Chain A
């Protein structure tokens, strides 16, 4: 019995960690390229949840009921629309403030986040929204009352996290787009002189970040089955914490931070006390930042001469 409980808690923690990681990637990529935190990211995640529900409703209307097909179509549709959101956020809240003090775009991003939250609330209502289960069933390990399980939806979340991590790493490290990204990150002025359209690169990064929020929004919503206009807030904060924990700016760090946060929450909640799970998670964050100020995998900022 004991080991099945432990197994279940590990599954809980890993799945939760993967959802944090998926969203944290968006924070970390944007921070990596412009050194600023996109506080509207959590709201893009929230909008993705609504989009998922709308697209699924449309698909059912057209009689598409296959789980695989509706999952793929929902993901594709959501990614396209959240990308537009990401692009717009950059154009509205960041581009005009590119050369202002760092606090200005931070505030404008918070503004965008409030606008999106209230816009959705007014348009879609304040109540909870449900979404039908697209994928159901679970893999059970063990038998009788002694078992632990991983639902297919949870498995999809883990797969999606691993896959998107791999794809993003390849884009950043192997493609010319990735090279341009890294150049822009290291020295935007020099990159521009060498012929890189840095504005376009920054837009692209926002689009990538937003599409990751889209993926997370769809999958997480399908997993929990419900959402409201406020889900972006807490999830955003947690994902942001995961990004900082892993070292903001580092892709692998975002995933590692997410997993660490998810596992520590689950295990602490499961074996010690649920009341203090956030206290524990954030104390852990403080401790890690004391010994590694730039996070687990973050590179310390080098003063450029």
Chain B
């Protein structure tokens, strides 16, 4: 029955054609500017992806309400890298080739940002990460790669000073999760601590995705540690701190901005375990006057703009301002403008140095209070 087969084939082609053409039509449209929002929208770190998305979405809506970018509407394109470097490269290629985005907000995990940024660099597209703090992101001197957050070497320095000078810890254990972000953070902290004259009693990496760190905790106990510094994310930090407390270890727990999420409490399985855990994070953007109205708006819709939400919001604002001022979407033009100017954002005024790092970093120490919140430690 060759005819029937032919008909089937033709129908198939027709369906494909419809799919392809409708897709193309959806993407045509001159009056819009597409921004890629790249981060872990799925996977184990999707909680951060949600912050990224909520922040960017709110920013785009607010900007579109008042006329968009020189009359053009912002359209956001979700790009999911699941915090996996391989997937990050493929979504970066997709954003550049198929979606033809004008700029990218993201990625989130440093290990994803690094390989993806090479693609944006090749394509000359502006990429501003609201969260990747690894120094190498901007240290490679790619002209269109910038960030709207601090650097791990700044964060690690603040943490090391705190552990040695404020907590006066003698036996310090430094742990990391073997990932670009976690390890970079732990190394920066270790380096500064060594400069201050304290050598760590243990320096080791644990495996991402595991839940049982009991063996490591027992080892920490054997080293008589009085402070444990962990470079990594809340998914591992939670069980780690819980098992420390369960084994009766009272050493102080300090980590970086990877545990800035209420998910940290859930990962530990209760408030009592995270009580007294310290972390370094930028001065709380929710408390700044510049962002009051936006924070209110978020809370009205039943969403607490924690962690990186406002960072993502501000990043969209930054890109918008640069595009408005230059009336261009050329990555290098935008980046040069940003490096020469100051932008007003929901997080206050931001300006950049030649490498694309923020001129002012504002890391401070926070402490989890045991009632589901964290507050600045003074």
B187-227 residues with Cβ-Cβ distance < 8 A to A are 204-207, 209-212, 214-216, 218-219, 221-222
- Specify which of B246, B261, B265, B268 lies most central, judged by the most chain A CB atoms within 10 Å of its CB: B246
B-side contacts of A121, CB under 8 Å: 42, 46
Q: How far is the CA of A267 from the CA of B270 in the complex (A)?
A: 28
Given contacts A13-B215, A230-B209, A270-B218, contact A128 B47 (CB under 8 A): yes
Q: Per DSSP, are chain A's interface residues mostly helix, strand or loop, or mixed? A: helix
Determine if A224 and B242 form an interchain contact, defined as CB atoms under 8 angstroms apart. yes
Closest B residue, CB atoms, query A225: B269
A-side contacts of B238, CB under 8 Å: 128, 226
Q: How far is the CA of A75 from the CA of B238 in the complex (A)?
A: 25
- Specify which of A13, A130, A226, A228 lies most central, judged by the most chain B CB atoms within 10 Å of its CB: A226
Per the CB 8 Å criterion, the residue count for chain B at the interface is 40
Partner of A16, one of B42, B214, B234, B269: B214
Contacts between chains A and B (CB distance < 8 A), count: 119
Determine if A127 and B248 form an interchain contact, defined as CB atoms under 8 angstroms apart. no
B-side contacts of A129, CB under 8 Å: 266
A-side contacts of B252, CB under 8 Å: none
Determine if B47 and A234 form an interchain contact, defined as CB atoms under 8 angstroms apart. no
Given contacts A149-B248, A151-B246, A230-B43, contact A126 B215 (CB under 8 A): no
Given contacts A8-B218, A9-B215, A15-B214, contact A275 B267 (CB under 8 A): no
Determine if B46 and A130 form an interchain contact, defined as CB atoms under 8 angstroms apart. no
Determine if A8 and B247 form an interchain contact, defined as CB atoms under 8 angstroms apart. yes
A-side contacts of B178, CB under 8 Å: 275
Q: How far is the CA of A138 from the CA of B269 in the complex (A)?
A: 18
B-side contacts of A270, CB under 8 Å: 215-216, 218-219, 222
Q: How far is the CA of A257 from the CA of B48 in the complex (A)?
A: 37
- Distance in angstroms from B199 CB to nearest chain A CB is 18
A100-138 residues with Cβ-Cβ distance < 8 A to B are 118, 121, 126-133, 138
Determine if B212 and A226 form an interchain contact, defined as CB atoms under 8 angstroms apart. no
B-side contacts of A180, CB under 8 Å: none
Flag whether A198 is at the interface (Cβ < 8 A). Answer: no
**Interface flags, A8-25, vs B, CB<8A=1, else 0:** 110011011001000000
Q: How far is the CA of A278 from the CA of B204 in the complex (A)?
A: 13
Closest A residue, CB atoms, query B235: A128
Flag whether A260 is at the interface (Cβ < 8 A). Answer: no
Partner of A149, one of B46, B212, B247, B269: B247
Given contacts A127-B47, A233-B209, A273-B204, contact A132 B270 (CB under 8 A): yes
Flag whether B49 is at the interface (Cβ < 8 A). Answer: yes
Q: How far is the CA of A121 from the CA of B242 in the complex (A)?
A: 24
Flag whether A266 is at the interface (Cβ < 8 A). Answer: yes
- Distance in angstroms from A172 CB to nearest chain B CB is 29
B-side contacts of A228, CB under 8 Å: 44, 235, 267
- Distance in angstroms from B271 CB to nearest chain A CB is 9
- Distance in angstroms from B109 CB to nearest chain A CB is 14
B-side contacts of A274, CB under 8 Å: 204-206, 215-216, 219
Determine if A225 and B212 form an interchain contact, defined as CB atoms under 8 angstroms apart. no
Partner of B46, one of A5, A12, A126: A126
Flag whether B50 is at the interface (Cβ < 8 A). Answer: yes
- Specify which of B50, B205, B215, B273 lies most central, judged by the most chain A CB atoms within 10 Å of its CB: B215
Flag whether B118 is at the interface (Cβ < 8 A). Answer: no
- Distance in angstroms from B180 CB to nearest chain A CB is 15
Determine if A224 and B218 form an interchain contact, defined as CB atoms under 8 angstroms apart. no
A-side contacts of B246, CB under 8 Å: 138, 151
Given contacts A128-B235, A269-B215, contact A226 B267 (CB under 8 A): yes
Per the CB 8 Å criterion, the residue count for chain A at the interface is 44
Flag whether B143 is at the interface (Cβ < 8 A). Answer: no
Q: How far is the CA of A149 from the CA of B248 in the complex (A)?
A: 9
**Interface flags, A146-166, vs B, CB<8A=1, else 0:** 000101000000000000000
Q: How far is the CA of A224 from the CA of B235 in the complex (A)?
A: 12
Determine if B266 and A5 form an interchain contact, defined as CB atoms under 8 angstroms apart. no
- Distance in angstroms from A117 CB to nearest chain B CB is 10
Q: How far is the CA of A224 from the CA of B209 in the complex (A)?
A: 13
Determine if B212 and A16 form an interchain contact, defined as CB atoms under 8 angstroms apart. yes
**Interface flags, A192-218, vs B, CB<8A=1, else 0:** 000000000000000000000000000
Determine if B247 and A130 form an interchain contact, defined as CB atoms under 8 angstroms apart. no
Determine if B239 and A224 form an interchain contact, defined as CB atoms under 8 angstroms apart. yes
Flag whether A30 is at the interface (Cβ < 8 A). Answer: no
B235-283 residues with Cβ-Cβ distance < 8 A to A are 235, 238-239, 242, 246-248, 261, 263, 265-270, 273
A-side contacts of B216, CB under 8 Å: 269-270, 274
Given contacts A1-B222, A12-B215, A15-B214, contact A226 B239 (CB under 8 A): yes
Q: How far is the CA of A220 from the CA of B239 in the complex (A)?
A: 12
Q: How far is the CA of A12 from the CA of B247 in the complex (A)?
A: 11
Closest B residue, CB atoms, query A129: B266
Q: How far is the CA of A5 from the CA of B269 in the complex (A)?
A: 25
Closest B residue, CB atoms, query A12: B214
Determine if A126 and B42 form an interchain contact, defined as CB atoms under 8 angstroms apart. yes
Q: How far is the CA of A270 from the CA of B42 in the complex (A)?
A: 33
Flag whether A265 is at the interface (Cβ < 8 A). Answer: yes
Determine if B270 and A133 form an interchain contact, defined as CB atoms under 8 angstroms apart. yes
A-side contacts of B266, CB under 8 Å: 127-130, 226
Q: How far is the CA of A54 from the CA of B367 in the complex (A)?
A: 30
B117-146 residues with Cβ-Cβ distance < 8 A to A are none
Q: How far is the CA of A231 from the CA of B44 in the complex (A)?
A: 9
Closest B residue, CB atoms, query A15: B214
A-side contacts of B261, CB under 8 Å: 127
B43-87 residues with Cβ-Cβ distance < 8 A to A are 43-44, 46-47, 49-50
Per CB-CB distance, the 4 closest pairs between chain A and chain B, nearest first, are A225-B269, A126-B46, A266-B215, A269-B215
Residue pairs across A and B with Cβ atoms less than 8 A apart, 8 shown, are: A225-B269, A226-B238, A226-B239, A226-B266, A226-B267, A234-B209, A270-B219, A275-B204
**Further 7 A-B residue pairs, CB within 8 A, beyond A121-B42, A126-B49, A128-B47:** A133-B269, A224-B239, A226-B211, A230-B209, A274-B205, A274-B206, A275-B178
Chain A residues with CB under 8 Å of chain B are 1, 5, 8-9, 12-13, 15-16, 19, 118, 121, 126-133, 138, 149, 151, 220, 224-228, 230-231, 233-235, 265-267, 269-271, 273-275, 277-278
